Amino acid sequence: MNPRILVLGADGQLGREIQRLYTIKNFEFIFVNRQNLDITNYSGLLASVDGLKPDWIINCAAFTNVDRAEIEKDACWAANAQGPRNIAMICSSKKIRLIHISTDSVFASENYLFNKISDVTNPINEYSRAKVAGERAIIENSNSDYWIIRTAWLYGKDGKNFVSAILGKLQMNKPFHVVDDQFGQPTWTQNVVHAIFGILESVMNPGILHIATPSVTSRLEWARTIAEIFNYDVSLILPTKSTQNKGVAIRPKYSLIEPSKIEGIRNDWLIPPKVSLSHFFAS
């Protein structure tokens, strides 16, 4: 019997990318969204897992609106901390392997430095504090068969992300501002999915992985790159500072993660982001 993979949060941009790309013939994928299965409901989650009997769970479910997380704290912590705890406890008791998606923003710095997997986390907003708690819940409540993937500045064909937001503004053909003092590693969802497939196929050593491009860019530089690739007027994009941003949450200047290089599988996330964006545009 082929191993069964249960994907939670299938309506998010990463979940949809898995649905678009999965071609592993020796695996059976089951996709569920929040309407089908709420990870914050332990008894409901346990009953579903007992019925579906997965060999793996991929948790893409999360509360991802960083500004709303400052206001809807209970909902953020339920999805990003309690949900992963529920999943980890069930996976441990049922001997199910777990892949969990986390974020670069578990780190924050005023300096240009790449955080290693072993570095101590230091979140600065409610969203990232809850994500750190989710990581810890998995580590403390799982057996040894868990993989935590930290990734950064995700963009893909589905859902809200920086690339789609910038394209929407460029299409209005009016000037707009983008901050020039926040820096990160734009990462295509397809590259993260290839890392997930690599885990499923090779069953590499468990633990934390950093799946993000090694290249660093500012929000402003990335927005202008998007305009260039999609043939929009770059002069529409004007610089501003994060202190002028009307967002509710504090965001780190740098939240860089040292990318993992995994032997024996595709390491697509190590491609420069401009190249990946060109591939995204052509896909």
Say which of 127, 146, 155, 232 is annotated catalytic. Answer: 127
**What pLDDT score was predicted for residue 61?**
96
Report pLDDT digits (tens) over 164-186.
999 999 999 999 999 999 999 99
Alpha-carbon gap, residue 54 to 28, rounded angstroms:
9
Name the nearest CA neighbour of 138 among 54, 206, 49.
206
Name the nearest CA neighbour of 108 among 88, 92, 128.
128
Residues making up the chain, counted from first to last: 283
* Residue whose tokens read 């005023």: 110
Tokens matching residue 115: 């955080």
CB 165 within 8 A of CB 121: no
**What pLDDT score was predicted for residue 177?**
96
**What pLDDT score was predicted for residue 39?**
96
Domains of the chain: 4-161+187-215+256-271 (3.40.50.720)
**What pLDDT score was predicted for residue 203?**
66
Helix locations, the chain, DSSP H? 13-21, 42-52, 66-71, 73-77, 83-94, 126-141, 162-171, 189-202, 219-229, 273-282
Alpha-carbon gap, residue 154 to 160, rounded angstroms:
10
Mean pLDDT by 10 residues, the chain (283 residues): 92 94 87 91 96 96 95 97 97 96 96 96 96 97 90 91 96 96 96 93 86 96 96 96 83 96 84 90 84
Cα angle 219, 224, 227 (rounded to 5 degrees) comes to 130
Compute the Cα dihedral for 280, 208, 2, 35 and give only its sign.
negative
127 is catalytic: yes
Contacts of 246 (CB under 8 A, 6+ apart): none
Q: Which amino acid is at 96?
A: I
